[in-house]
Structure 1
Amino acid sequence: MQPVSDIHVSSNLPLPPPADLISRVPREDAQAEFIIRSRREIRDIIFGNDPRLLVIAGPCSIHDTAAGLEYAERFAKLADQVKDRMLLVMRVYFEKPRTTVGWKGLIMDPRLDGSNRIEEGLETARRFLSDVIRLGIPTATELLDPITPQYIADLICWSAIGARTTESQTHRQMASGLSMPLGFKNGTLGNLEPAINAIKAATQPQTFLGVGMDGRASAVTTTGNPDCHIILRGGESGPNHDAGSVGATRELLLKSGLKPAIMIDASHGNCRKDHNLMPAVFEEIVRQRKGGDTSVIGAMLESNLAGGAQKFPQPLDQLVHGQSITDACIDWETTERIILDAARELDPGR
């Protein structure tokens, strides 16, 4: 008799239950207190109870944890310099959505060689998050696979749902049960409705298929996540970081009965995928906020030690230290300059 199942499956390797991996890399009490405090501060900014600008900045993706930690150490010092005007949160992205094929991120392929050692990737990600939090930096990531949060979400302060997955029912359900504030990006075409519908869905109770801490399939019921907001990231129709687009977004959110809390991504479609344009987009975001638009609650930057991006795959010993292997980023010097300039601009005494 011919097989009817797993015809195209070459292997099916069990992963450790989330509880087992978490026990290998436990969350310290001091880290838990810091994560709770950071989530509260982010929530207060989203809902207008904290006047600071929320800035999510860091590498497009983490592929080299040594370079990532070097970035984090610099970022911690910068965050301390601007803490009265801005809350800096580091991008710690381990999962990369692919339009066709390519490297899917540190969790899926931690050795960058196609060996896809997911268990090793999950542990590496968890250890790196722990190291960043130990430096006193809030963490941010995009959650792509709905199983991943069970392994790392307790070390995440803010998360995003990307443009490709904002319309996904699976991701909206997942978001409804997450414990941190979360942003939904507008669709890849630049359309806002998918993100607004996603916020509505994620704030409501949901029941869906999931994985428990013991690794068993389970029916998960949530209470809904009240701390969701929209992220403008531009799209195929062009940028949407300008005042007119922000105003239209604000009106649509209000019409939909949602808090007009708008984060603007200075990368992706808003810089037309040219990292050299990113600083000017960020400066425009800051101008709008300085001009009194309190609906602009935050900004996003793709930033690394070295600017640009390098081709991948290539021999690992030939990779440039601290340069992205996914989207092009601005370099550290530019990052530091525009954030310090923004802090000065946002000084109410100016």
Structure 2
Amino acid sequence: MSMEMEFIRVLPSPQSLMEDFPISNKAKKIKVQRDKIIKDIFAGNDDRLAMIIGPCSSDNEDAVLDYVSRLAKVQEKIKDKIFIVPRLYTNKPRTIGVGYKGMLHQPSPRGEEDMLEGIIAIRKLNVRVVEETGLTGAEEILYPEIFRYLSDLLCYAAVGARSSEDQLHRMIASGVGIPVGLKNPTSGDLSVMLNSVAAAQHSQEFLFRGWEVRTKGNAFAHAILRGYVDSTGQSVPNYHYETLTKVIQMYEGRDLDNPAIVIDTNHSNSGKKCLEQVRIAKDIINSRKLNPDIKQIVKGLMVESYIEDGCQKIDGGVYGKSITDPCLGWEKTERLLLDLADML
């Protein structure tokens, strides 16, 4: 029986793409240094707050580079308190995967899908970020096979709410070699989230890119709270003090390495009201101040931010404005980062 899919072409291997779009020795050193810092944060050896921040979806190379360059300038001012990791989410489609599918599929948002041009575009974007700004980014592991094309460039990865129950995503997370956050599922089930963390912390054997592979397990796999949707379709936040103490208790009932929580201030935590992220981020810092256990376990925040507030249609044409989820604009973002550093 034949499968009902058209085999279009064999794509280049990650190794060959890395050779075609290499990084400098200076950039390799930056990656090693930043990997060590973020692992130290999750291991509790560095008390800075990790801030995973940037566009919902990286749709335009020049605007993303402009945005990350601005972040790099702020990072210098707050480097004693906050460690910034730019979100470089290049696989991120609209929720149902119809319309815009992210830079990986559509290097030009209004263009045709082209996976070859897509893997080149996402590689080039990530190379430019580290070479030009000195920051290494975060990516969502949406399509596990794609991660390898960027594995020499990233310092953080996230597994989304719809993927964290999937066994392949859990197994990939166990072998990526950098801290990886697994989001609570859209149902909000916290035990499922911690099952995902446990799976990612264990050694796994599986099929990957035509190979039988074995991982050592990822000691820096951790939970991301992003809110959830109840049975009536209403957004329910899970960043509050009470939930954080509950997750601490749940962690205590399991034998997991480096217990840690990152809180996504957007999505169902903000009810997709992107400007609420400012209030939510400050609320979380206050919870950390009130309770030393919360301070110890909440290692970072995730914020959706870009150059302009809000979002637009694909053909909107506004530079630096999201074409997927609404984002916090630059002025509010810079103010938020400086305010949080003052609070810490």
Smaller-chain TM-score range? over 0.9
SS of 1:124 mapped into structure 2? helix
Contact 1:59 1:92 in 2 (8 A): yes
Q: Deviations over 1:51-107 (max 9, x none)?
A: 111110011111011100110110100111110011011000011253352322101
Identity %: 37
Q: 1:214 matched to which residue of 2?
A: none
Q: Deviations over 1:95-137 (max 9, x none)?
A: 1253352322101111223521111111111111111112111
Q: 2:244 matched to which residue of 1?
A: 246
Q: Which among 207, 214, 224 is matched to residue 217 of structure 2? A: 224
Q: 1:122 matched to which residue of 2?
A: 119
Contact 1:288 1:296 in 2 (8 A): no
Contact 2:307 2:330 in 1 (8 A): yes
Q: Which among 139, 142, 146 is matched to residue 141 of structure 1? A: 139
Contact 1:88 1:138 in 2 (8 A): no
Q: Deviations over 1:257-281 (max 9, x none)?
A: 2233111110101101111211111
Kindly state the Cα deviation for residue 10 of structure 1 after the two structures are TM-superposed. Answer: 3.7
Q: Which among 94, 99, 102 is matched to residue 105 of structure 1? A: 102
Say if 2:227 is the partner of 1:234. yes
Structural mapping, 1:62-81, within 5 Å: 62-81=58-77
Contact 1:35 1:157 in 2 (8 A): yes
Contact 2:18 2:149 in 1 (8 A): yes
CA distance in 1, matches of 2:144, 2:300: 26
CA distance in 2, matches of 1:145, 1:100: 13
Structural mapping, 1:303-314, within 5 Å: 303-312=305-314, 314=315
CA distance in 2, matches of 1:344, 1:85: 8
Larger mean CA deviation between 292-301 and 57-66 belongs to 292-301
Larger mean CA deviation between 177-186 and 252-261 belongs to 252-261
Contact 2:227 2:267 in 1 (8 A): yes
Moved over 6 A (4+): none
CA distance in 2, matches of 1:128, 1:28: 15
Q: 1:165 matched to which residue of 2?
A: 163
Q: Deviations over 1:147-172 (max 9, x none)?
A: 10121111111000000000000101
Q: Deviations over 1:286-339 (max 9, x none)?
A: 212233322111101000000100023x3xxx4110000010001000001111
Kindly state the Cα deviation for residue 199 of structure 1 after the two structures are TM-superposed. Answer: 1.2
Q: Deviations over 1:231-252 (max 9, x none)?
A: 1100114101110011101110
Larger mean CA deviation between 165-174 and 9-18 belongs to 9-18
Q: Which among 123, 129, 133 is matched to residue 132 of structure 1? A: 129
AA at the equivalent of 2:29: E
Q: TM-score, normalised by structure 1?
A: 0.92
Say if 2:44 is the partner of 1:41. no
Q: 2:195 matched to which residue of 1?
A: 197
Contact 1:205 1:221 in 2 (8 A): yes
Q: 2:340 matched to which residue of 1?
A: 342
Q: Which among 297, 304, 312 is matched to residue 295 of structure 1? A: 297
Query: Please, which runs of 5 or more residues in structure 2 have no aligned partner?
Result: 231-235
CA distance in 2, matches of 1:203, 1:10: 37
Larger mean CA deviation between 25-34 and 45-54 belongs to 25-34
Contact 1:126 1:152 in 2 (8 A): yes
Contact 2:205 2:213 in 1 (8 A): yes
- How large is the RMSD of aligned CA atoms in angstroms? 1.3
Contact 2:31 2:155 in 1 (8 A): yes
CA distance in 2, matches of 1:190, 1:102: 27
CA distance in 2, matches of 1:232, 1:301: 12
Query: Please, which runs of 5 or more residues in structure 1 have no aligned partner?
Result: 212-216
AA at the equivalent of 1:256: R
Contact 1:107 1:121 in 2 (8 A): yes
Contact 2:174 2:221 in 1 (8 A): no
Q: 1:274 matched to which residue of 2?
A: 273
SS of 1:120 mapped into structure 2? helix
Aligned residues: 333
Contact 2:78 2:338 in 1 (8 A): yes
CA distance in 2, matches of 1:112, 1:335: 25
SS of 1:148 mapped into structure 2? helix
CA distance in 1, matches of 2:8, 2:121: 21
Contact 2:136 2:153 in 1 (8 A): no
Q: 1:59 matched to which residue of 2?
A: 55
CA distance in 2, matches of 1:12, 1:131: 29
Kindly state the Cα deviation for residue 27 of structure 1 after the two structures are TM-superposed. Answer: 2.4
